[in-house]
Chains A and B, each alone.
Chain A
């Protein structure tokens, strides 16, 4: 242990974010709170007046709120799913990134659900969903699967956090009472470690099907209706792929910010961004494959009702959104991510921001065009989101960043014990593992 390149005191930097608060933190906090207060003002205005203050009308009953719902639930697929897959695959480079990924999942889910609540005409009656639940409605499948997902991913975030909380408790500098409660009497004994490892791997297996089901069910909200270009069997996997796509992008952005702000260059290294960049590249291609299949099927089927929407997206009113989506989801990230030289932290950051914008546009292009052209003649209505809807969108993002910041103030954003474990045990473990894979390395 003493011979290793690092020594324990070097992990000090991971405690810095918790124990020291700078001026720029307070400034950011102030700006975020201001945006949130503005959004609250906008919401109370909508609550008092009714949904008429939005840009919605008949037949475009759903707009930015539902777009954001799908978008935020999509972002949530970054954390838990990626972290679980990397853990199960025993990818050693996961150690310093899993925590920051898992936090995204748990926090962003609230805004997914929040957007549905903002969209309700009568939010005061939301408990009718429990009182009079009608399980034939895909919306209720959503409620169920998101609840399970939120619970599972919260547990999955909390379990690997316990040893780190115990570390904080033992340092006893700030909020010792809080860490004492949350550490659940962790002493780091052999038995406790064994139990924890077991619990984490059970949860890792459990959250994967849950995560996949959540976004499938989100797509079912659209796919189960008989509306043109919604009623599609490919929507489930298409939404899941898109969700993981935007999720990885969000993770890369978050890691870039953490890295810069808390000076964690030693922990979040270019190699991490390179690996995540490759994952993002795969998802870029997968996204293209799904989009291409979806649109080609519609085009070849050639049903008039579908084709109206199809052309509206490709050449009509929604062409800027559609081609914007192609540009941001495919044309920009593909070349950046294809070359190793460009898969730097900065390169992947640019690609990720582009993907996030592109995926928001994708959700928009899925939700709105279908509704603008009902089967029977209707008044020509154009949908423009109002300042209320934009304010709430800004408020959601600001609130998410705020919660994420507060998390880094309470808990280490890089899993300290897992990093240490990697340093101390993994090398021997990997050697042992490779011995079991190949002949001629001294294994029996």
Chain B
């Protein structure tokens, strides 16, 4: 069984936000106008956030891409009353949009605040409507959404491998953000495979995860030389 995970090398990341753009167009993320953005209603499945280490004057600040951590022990799935979010057998925390009742319990329970709510029905300018991704369903108003590790790409890759009569190869399934990263700072793959890139990198000396003390066991690793 696969256990999908991601490694982001912060020493290589230039904070160019290509991943953010790629994610937006891949996953049909609604465009929230400037007015609503100011109120805090934006949706970004991946986003660059300022991250501070230490205290002044020994402070170190950097921008880090933050996405759903796909925790092994997700605080969000436990509290969902309708199984609209759950950890699937391959380690992806999935979100069933058409079942979500919009109670926003998962969004308040997530310590990484990576779950987003559709305050209004999603909107796009007319010109953009033709270029929406047909593999990703469009959310309605009043439901929660978040990063799925581009799960639709996995489904597609698996179908393709089946048609060609072969096993799924590591390079078959890559999320849009990893694919778009120009500095090669993002890696994706199977953490269960001891020889995969992500597996090797996740065991490196530089590797850490966000808020490991919470016991959520994220499957997104960061690499950094540290202070």
Contact = CB atoms under 8 A, between A and B. Distances in A.
Interface of A: 49-52, 56-62, 116, 119-123, 125-126, 128-129, 131-134, 136-140, 143, 221, 224-227, 371, 374-379, 381
Nearest to A140: B81
Contacts, number: 140
Contact of A137 (B36, B41, B81): B81
A371 to B, nearest CB: 6
Interface string B25-44: 00000000000100111100
Contacts of B52: 377
Given A52-B41, A134-B80, A119 B66 contact: no
Contact of B108 (A126, A133, A227, A377): A227
A125 B103 contact: no
Contacts of B120: 49-50, 52
Given A49-B120, A225-B109, A122 B78 contact: no
A274 B66 CA distance: 59
A224 B51 CA distance: 27
A121 B142 contact: yes
A129 B119 contact: no
A225 to B, nearest CB: 4
A62 B81 contact: no
28 contacts: A50-B141, A52-B36, A52-B41, A52-B141, A58-B40, A58-B107, A61-B104, A61-B108, A62-B108, A122-B100, A122-B140, A122-B143, A125-B82, A125-B99, A125-B102, A126-B101, A128-B101, A129-B101, A132-B82, A134-B83, A137-B78, A138-B79, A224-B79, A225-B108, A226-B75, A371-B108, A374-B111, A379-B42
A375 B112 CA distance: 7
A157 to B, nearest CB: 29
B117 interface: yes
B113 interface: yes
Given A139-B79, A226-B109, 5 more contacts: A120-B101, A121-B117, A121-B144, A122-B100, A376-B49
B117 A375 contact: no
B119 A56 contact: yes
Contact of B142 (A51, A227, A381): A51
B180 interface: no
Contact of A62 (B51, B104, B119): B104
Contacts of A116: 103
A3 B178 CA distance: 93
A229 to B, nearest CB: 13
B99 to A, nearest CB: 6
A124 B208 CA distance: 42
Given A61-B104, A122-B101, A377 B49 contact: yes
Classify the interface of chain B: helix, strand, loop or mixed.
loop
Nearest to B142: A121
Given A58-B40, A134-B83, A121 B116 contact: no
B102 A121 contact: yes
B82 A225 contact: no
Nearest to B103: A120
Nearest to A62: B108
Given A122-B100, A122-B101, A225-B75, A374 B113 contact: yes
A132 B103 CA distance: 14
Contacts of B124: none
A58 B116 contact: yes
A226 B118 CA distance: 24
Contact of A119 (B81, B99, B103): B103
Contacts of B80: 134, 137
A37 B132 CA distance: 41
B121 interface: yes
Contacts of A143: 81
B83 A132 contact: yes
Interface in B67-120: 75, 78-84, 99-105, 107-109, 111-113, 116-120
A139 B39 CA distance: 28
B102 A122 contact: yes
Interface centre among A121, A126, A139, A378 (most CB of B within 10 A): A121
B154 interface: no
B211 interface: yes
A374 B100 CA distance: 23
Q: Give the interface centre of B108, B144, B214 by most chain A CB atoms within 10 Å.
A: B108
Contacts of A57: 39-41, 119
Contact of B39 (A122, A131, A381): A381
B50 interface: yes
B121 A132 contact: no
A370 B13 CA distance: 32
B177 to A, nearest CB: 18
Contact of A121 (B40, B78, B79, B118): B118
Contacts of A61: 104, 107-108, 117
A144 to B, nearest CB: 11
